[in-house]
Structure 1
Amino acid sequence: MLSVINTLRQGSPRPEELDELVPSRYALRVGEIDVLVISDGAFPLPATTLATNASPDDLAAWLGDQLQPLDVYKWPLNVVVVRSGDRTVLIDAGMGDEYPDEPRAGGLLAHRLEAAGIDPASVTDVVLTHMHMDHIGGLLADGLKSRLCPDVPIHLAAVEVDFWMSPDFSRNTFGGFPDVLRSTAKRFVDEYGSQLRPFDTECEVAPGVVVHRTGGHTPGHSVVRLTSGSDRLTFIGDAVFPDHFARPDWFNAFDHDPEEAVRVRTDLLTELAATGEPLVATHLSFPSVGRVALDDEGFRWVPATWEY
């Protein structure tokens, strides 16, 4: 059974530090593992990036059902901090300053870590689900980079690092900004290459915190599975976007292998529906804690009830 806690065990912020009128962090416990979901913000993209192989009418119908505009969709951006044993693990790092022409569209992680009372110097490990700029950009931003321990290990799949040495965008179905994705990944490797701890298939980073490579969205895309006693939680990164519960066959514009991404997400959604295990995802509406259910046409997202 998941239980909610007020914050990670490092003291609550003073009232005067709560200077935002929006919720930006949500804490829960998976057995003996403390979990904090932090919103890095939200960034707008053309709505067509959600489903490049969908017909305009089908995509418009889905957006209409969600009461969303038909031209632009704001992608939530969630980061997770996990404390297990004596390890404090940052899972993904948000956008930083990488999103073109939108300085406030994401990039809020450093501020929100501070508001939550988390000193970046206390982070013992960083895990990256993959190397897209909205997952590594925060590590390149001064607000976070200068405050991390200079030798903090960064865990990610080896094939992910290899891919970004010479990235192939030939199977992507979008006309977005590959130059920015490519240059951000290069700067990241140049900055942190000596700290990378690549793994082949999976890696236990902390007690009960296991990173498992799935591929699909990117060659080395990974999920993070938390296990403590009988409790489970999976951070699924970019394996699933909001439209994929109803239409797991839709290609996300940033899938580097769209067909493999469909297979990965379908298998993952099927597994999570069967087990009832809760999940957190990067681009589901904050705090993105919920479960997967089956319905007549596929899958259904069931958000968890907020507890205070």
Structure 2
Amino acid sequence: MFDNALHLERPKTDELVPSRYALRVGEIDVLVVSDGLLSLKTPNLATNADPSEVAAWLDHTFLPPDEMVWPVNVVVVRSGGRTILIDSGLGEQQPDFRRAGRWAQRLQAAGIDLASVTDVVLTHMHFDHVGGLLVDGVRERLRPDVPIHTAAAEAKFWASPDFSTNASMPAWFPDAARSAAARFLTEYGSQLRLFEAEYEVAPGVLVRRTGGHTVGHSVVRLASGGDRLTFLGDAVLPAGFDHPDWHNAFEHDPEDAARVRIGLLQELAATREPLVACHLPFPSLGRVAVAGDAFRFVPAYWEY
């Protein structure tokens, strides 16, 4: 059981905001951890939509018209005696993203010893998912042979990245993504454990390649007893429920990303199982409902 599962501990840091949320999926322990917030320009929400439509959605959801914060959530899972980190956040705080990069300190505050980690799963290799592993001192605290599971297609792409399939990416993004992925592959390439379609990391912990957002983007599905939970990674952003056909600026194949998103949301709406995702408001736990030709995100009530 995670140290904070009953929410009775005294805070170990001076932070006053909630930064972790514990739940159980059958016999599997799950901890959603906030890495902080990214500030990004709102036009990146939808590169294929009329600006007036985007402005109307932002106004309807009480969000600012020019710039909004995108949460960064990562997950820690314990199942069958294994401790699994799913993604690692931005890593170190950067001048352009001062409110993110808190993954390492928040794992420590939650009582998670990196030396106890048996596996790492990466939904994909964007810098806000591999960055925590690149923080000074993290590699030394991990087991030297800890396996890092990711789709073979993802590793192949980042060995020689090509961003030509999305001409709407911000000018700064390809270089930033390429640099972080290259550093990650240099430091951890020998520890990669690649899979083609899916791989069971631990009992009831299945990582499955979806593609779309990146060529090897994956989701993680948890199942224990009759309980289920899916971590969607970057398959859906907040606007993706109301407008699943919108292309965000960071998708490598926008058309495929929309197809993947719609398929996943249809499936989750049908099964009624809960989800968490990287860039939904913390702790991002909720369900999907069908709303006409689109969807609706229904946040779960917090349990204390």
For the aligned pair, the TM-score class normalised by the smaller chain equals over 0.9
- Corresponding residue to 2:132 among 115, 135, 138: 138
In the alignment, the residues of structure 2 paired with residue 241 and residue 25 of structure 1 have an alpha-carbon distance, to the nearest angstrom, of: 20
Q: Report if the CA contact (8 A) 1:8-1:34 is conserved.
A: no
Q: Report if the CA contact (8 A) 1:98-1:133 is conserved.
A: no
- Equivalent residue number for residue 106 of structure 1: 100
Q: Report if the CA contact (8 A) 2:215-2:252 is conserved.
A: yes
Unaligned runs of 5+ in 2: none
- Equivalent residue number for residue 75 of structure 2: 80
- Equivalent residue number for residue 250 of structure 2: 254
- Corresponding residue to 2:28 among 15, 33, 36: 33
When structure 1 is superposed on structure 2, of 15-24 and 274-283 the one drifting more is 15-24
In the alignment, the residues of structure 1 paired with residue 213 and residue 65 of structure 2 have an alpha-carbon distance, to the nearest angstrom, of: 24
Root-mean-square deviation (CA, aligned residues, Å) is 1.6
Q: CA deviation at 1:296?
A: 2.0
When structure 1 is superposed on structure 2, of 205-214 and 172-181 the one drifting more is 172-181
Secondary structure in 1 aligned to 2:171? Answer: coil
Q: Report if the CA contact (8 A) 1:160-1:221 is conserved.
A: yes
Deviation string 1:81-128 (CA, Å, 9 cap, x unpaired) is 0000110000000001275x2353311011101111111111100000
- Corresponding residue to 1:69 among 64, 89, 96: 64
Does residue 265 in structure 1 map to residue 261 in structure 2? Answer: yes
In the alignment, the residues of structure 2 paired with residue 33 and residue 294 of structure 1 have an alpha-carbon distance, to the nearest angstrom, of: 28
In the alignment, the residues of structure 1 paired with residue 230 and residue 3 of structure 2 have an alpha-carbon distance, to the nearest angstrom, of: 19
**1:96 maps to amino acid:** G
In the alignment, the residues of structure 2 paired with residue 8 and residue 148 of structure 1 have an alpha-carbon distance, to the nearest angstrom, of: 22
Q: Report if the CA contact (8 A) 2:2-2:31 is conserved.
A: no
In the alignment, the residues of structure 2 paired with residue 157 and residue 115 of structure 1 have an alpha-carbon distance, to the nearest angstrom, of: 30
Q: CA deviation at 1:297?
A: 3.6
| TM norm structure 2 | 0.96
Q: Report if the CA contact (8 A) 1:214-1:222 is conserved.
A: yes
Q: 1:176 to 1:287 in 2, by over 3 A?
A: farther
Q: CA deviation at 1:38?
A: 0.1
Deviation string 1:129-187 (CA, Å, 9 cap, x unpaired) is 00000000110011533321121100000000000111111122222321111011000
Secondary structure in 1 aligned to 2:200? Answer: strand
Q: 1:209 to 1:187 in 2, by over 3 A?
A: same
- Equivalent residue number for residue 116 of structure 2: 122
- Equivalent residue number for residue 239 of structure 1: 235
Does residue 195 in structure 1 map to residue 191 in structure 2? Answer: yes
Q: Report if the CA contact (8 A) 1:13-1:117 is conserved.
A: no
When structure 1 is superposed on structure 2, of 237-246 and 15-24 the one drifting more is 15-24
Q: CA deviation at 1:252?
A: 1.0
Q: Report if the CA contact (8 A) 1:7-1:36 is conserved.
A: no
Q: CA deviation at 1:16?
A: 5.3
Q: 1:149 to 1:250 in 2, by over 3 A?
A: same
In the alignment, the residues of structure 2 paired with residue 156 and residue 82 of structure 1 have an alpha-carbon distance, to the nearest angstrom, of: 16
- Equivalent residue number for residue 145 of structure 2: 151
Q: 1:16 to 1:218 in 2, by over 3 A?
A: closer
- Equivalent residue number for residue 53 of structure 1: 48
| TM norm structure 1 | 0.94
Secondary structure in 2 aligned to 1:197? Answer: strand
Q: Report if the CA contact (8 A) 1:12-1:116 is conserved.
A: no
Query: Structure 1: which 4+ aligned runs deviate by more than 6 Å?
Result: none
In the alignment, the residues of structure 1 paired with residue 82 and residue 107 of structure 2 have an alpha-carbon distance, to the nearest angstrom, of: 16
In the alignment, the residues of structure 1 paired with residue 175 and residue 289 of structure 2 have an alpha-carbon distance, to the nearest angstrom, of: 38
Q: 1:8 to 1:88 in 2, by over 3 A?
A: farther
Deviation string 1:55-84 (CA, Å, 9 cap, x unpaired) is 110110111111111111211000000000
Q: Report if the CA contact (8 A) 2:26-2:224 is conserved.
A: yes
Q: CA deviation at 1:18?
A: 4.0
Q: Report if the CA contact (8 A) 1:167-1:182 is conserved.
A: yes
Q: CA deviation at 1:7?
A: 3.9
Does residue 95 in structure 1 map to residue 64 in structure 2? Answer: no
Q: Report if the CA contact (8 A) 1:98-1:137 is conserved.
A: no
In the alignment, the residues of structure 2 paired with residue 201 and residue 19 of structure 1 have an alpha-carbon distance, to the nearest angstrom, of: 42
**1:168 maps to amino acid:** D
When structure 1 is superposed on structure 2, of 136-145 and 233-242 the one drifting more is 136-145
Q: Report if the CA contact (8 A) 1:138-1:145 is conserved.
A: no
